[in-house]
Amino acid sequence: MRLEVEITGKTFKSAAGGMHEVLAPVKFALQSGEVGVLIGPSGCGKSTMLRIILGLDRDFDGHVARPPEARIGMVFQEPRLLPWRSVEQNVRLAAPDVTDAKLSELFKILELEAHRSHFPGELSLGLARRVALARAFAVEPDLLVLDEPLASLDDALAGRLRDEIATLVASRSVMTLLVTHSLDDAIRLGDRLFFLSPRPARIVQELPIEIPRAERSEAELARIRAKLAALPLESK
């Protein structure tokens, strides 16, 4: 399976009537098993790009080729859970085909076993984010989209969740698109990094990381970091 994104432009009309260019021409592709990372400054149009890729926004110039049968798992910036359904129901409603065994395994990995019957209003933000992750993985997606899934979590928890994401991504062949501010998340999880310019967003640098995720030692990560620091990027 393959995701091809070729956006030639996206403008939107503000309430005042002016036209604003949100996206400049952007082109990239993603294969099954690959993790692509979009890195860019706040407000550069990353979320708009995701909405276009997900088919939520059809008002743009260009073309997005996504296999029509591809199942999508998404972690939004905010958890977007149904407050009136329990944690388990929230996951099952999005993924009706999930088996009990698979669900138990996911809840165990994400340490949600004790919260199955809780309502989202009773959860902390960190827990709610984990439920959103469980929901996205439960659908066994072909395309997994993570929009800053670790933002506003403390370092320890973010680190643990990052490892969990890596485990889950490795356990099946899935195209993953991660949006993040954090270079650290990007180099630990990504196979290909796309650095975006400020608005209107375009890809200013594409950086593949050849070493498989599991084999990236701290020394390797430091080397990649040094390499990144040498690049003249406006978006770092």
Partner 1 sequence: MLRLLSIALLLAIWWTAALFVGGAKLPSPPAVLDVIVAEAASGALFLHLGATLARVALAFVLAMSLGSAIGYLMGRVKLADRLGDPWLILLLNLPALVVIVLAYIWAGLTEAAAIAAIAINKLPTAVVTLREGTRALDRSLDEMATVFAMPRWRAFRHVVLPQLAPYIAASARSGLSLVWKIVLVAELLGRPNGVGFEIGVAFQLFDTPRLLAYSLTFAAVVLVIETALVQPFEARATRWRPRAA
| 29 or 70: CB nearest partner 1 | 70
Of 51-59, 185-193, 206-214, 227-235, the window that binds partner 1 (rule: CB under 8 A) is 51-59
Site for partner 1 in 71-100 (CB under 8 A): 71-74, 76, 78, 80, 82-85, 89, 93-96
Of 69-77, 158-166, 186-194, 217-225, the window that binds partner 1 (rule: CB under 8 A) is 69-77
How would you label 191-209 residue by residue, b for 16+ Cβ within 10 Å and e otherwise? bbbbbbbebbbbbbbebeb
| 141 or 202: CB nearest partner 1 | 141
Q: Is 26 in the site for partner 1 (CB under 8 A)?
A: no
Query: How many helices and strands in the chain, by DSSP H and E?
Result: 7, 10
Q: Is 116 in the site for partner 1 (CB under 8 A)?
A: no
Determine the 3-state secondary structure of 192 from DSSP.
Answer: strand
Structure tokens at 185: 């998340």
Strand pairing class (192-196; 61-65): unpaired
| 55 or 225: CB nearest partner 1 | 55
Q: What is the DSSP string of 65-78?
A: E--TT--EEEE-SS
Q: Which residues have CB under 8 Å from 3's CB, separation 6+?
A: 29, 30, 53, 64, 65, 66, 70, 143, 175, 177
| 78 or 234: CB nearest partner 1 | 78
Q: Is 222 in the site for partner 1 (CB under 8 A)?
A: no
Q: Is 28 in the site for partner 1 (CB under 8 A)?
A: no
Site for partner 1 in 132-171 (CB under 8 A): 135, 139
Selection from 41, 39, 49, 75 nearest residue 165 by Cα: 75
Residues at the site binding partner 1, with contacts judged by CB under 8 A: 51, 54-56, 71-74, 76, 78, 80, 82-85, 89, 93-96, 119, 121-122, 135, 139
